[in-house]
Structure 1
Amino acid sequence: MIRAFVALQPPEAVVGALVAAQAGLPEGRPVARENLHLTVAFLGEHAGPVIEDVHYALSAIRLPRFDLSLRGLDLPGGDRAKVLAAGVDPEPKLRLLRDKVLQAARGAGIDFPRERYLPHVTLARFNAGLRGEAAERMRAFVLDGAGFRTEPFEVAGFALWRSHLGRSGPIYEALAEYPLAGGRAEGEGP
């Protein structure tokens, strides 16, 4: 079985900004630099042939490149938060990419639960959630990081990833990369 997801890999300058945002983290386990990514869709665990079918379906996606920027820190779930996340500026083209990825994966036989998509980059994890003073320290950390923002960066492609779970945390392996079309979509300007 292969535990897989589709994600965007931020450019090195953005990864550097994300690592800097982790500095002084009062609680939790920071996500390793090489694991920082923006999940487009979590596929779950499937047999190799299913993931291969997903690969071929993802290869058929044709969309133009687009720009994204990250901003602010958040504890999704409030007091029940299990992660610290960097938010993503709203971008309809990211939603379109997600819709196309879900459509491709469904066509390969993967079912998805109905859930709200909140694009983010996970910066830290809290195994047991946050309570008491730990929650207070993290809320203060999030308030201090409210001004976090990256310059817009071009999303030139996405990738299919495999997650190997282990005691010291996950190890991610890129299985395939899918470029987005160069240039801008028709009627978008320069």
Structure 2
Amino acid sequence: MKNDTLRLFFALPCPPQLAEQIVSWHDSLQLKGRPVIPANLHMTLAFLGQQPSSRLADLRTLAATVQGAAFELRLDRLVRRRNGLLYLAPSQPPAALLELVERLGEALLAGGFRLEERSFLAHLTLMRSCSGQPPPDCPTFDWPVSHFALLASETGPQGSVYHQLQQWPLLRID
């Protein structure tokens, strides 16, 4: 039987050049764990889980209605949780990011999609099962965010791989 569902989420895909800078710095820390590959670096805005592929058109339509302003995201904190999750985060999430998450969530709920119960945490996962203690300081990574995207997650022999299905621009406000 053919699997007609996709594991979907809306996210900010990390620009490739910035992803390479972050991974190069992270690799220099020589921490043990399961690192996220550069192509998978992203900030999740809304996780949808398994969805019927027949709902893709609905998701694309509702995402096109979500308006948001482009913004600069400054990742300046390195956090390791007790469960071994290591991530970069902004000390102060930009208002435009929080507004985008709220508008997207409202559109998804209005479209009949179910959202996670936990509140949004602005973060870029670097590693899972990190066993070492990261340094107290980290460099600042500035990320110009100009769009958001719908991504699908596929699990393969090397782990998860994310594929961008479509992206939508954020408005430049000068």
Q: TM-score range by the shorter chain?
A: 0.7 to 0.9
2:156 is the alignment partner of 1:166: yes
- Alignment correspondent of 1:176: 166
- Distance change in 2, residues 1:26/1:147 (3 Å): closer
Given the two structures, how large is their TM-score scaled by the length of structure 1? 0.81
Question: Which structure is higher in helix share?
Answer: 1
Given the two structures, how large is their TM-score scaled by the length of structure 2? 0.88
Matches of 1:85 and 1:63, distance apart in 2: 25
Matches of 1:10 and 1:173, distance apart in 2: 13
* Letter paired with 2:139: F
CA-CA distance at 1:105 after TM superposition: 1.6
Matches of 2:126 and 2:51, distance apart in 1: 26
* Letter paired with 1:117: F
Root mean square deviation of aligned Cα: 1.7
Contact 2:47 2:116 in 1 (8 A): no
Contact 1:50 1:108 in 2 (8 A): no
| Runs of 4 or more above 3 Å deviation | none
Matches of 1:74 and 1:110, distance apart in 2: 31
* Per-residue deviation, residues 105-159 of structure 1 (Å, max 9, x unmatched): 2122211232121111111112xxx6xxx3xxx22x242xx22211x33211110
2:16 is the alignment partner of 1:8: no
Q: Structure 1: where are the runs of 5+ without partners?
A: 185-189
- Alignment correspondent of 2:121: 118
The sequence identity of aligned pairs, in percent, is: 27
Alignment of 1:1-190 (within 5 A): 1-23=5-27, 24-76=29-81, 78=82, 80-81=83-84, 83-89=85-91, 90-126=93-129, 134=131, 138-139=132-133, 141-143=134-136, 146-150=137-141, 152-182=142-172, 184=173, 190=174
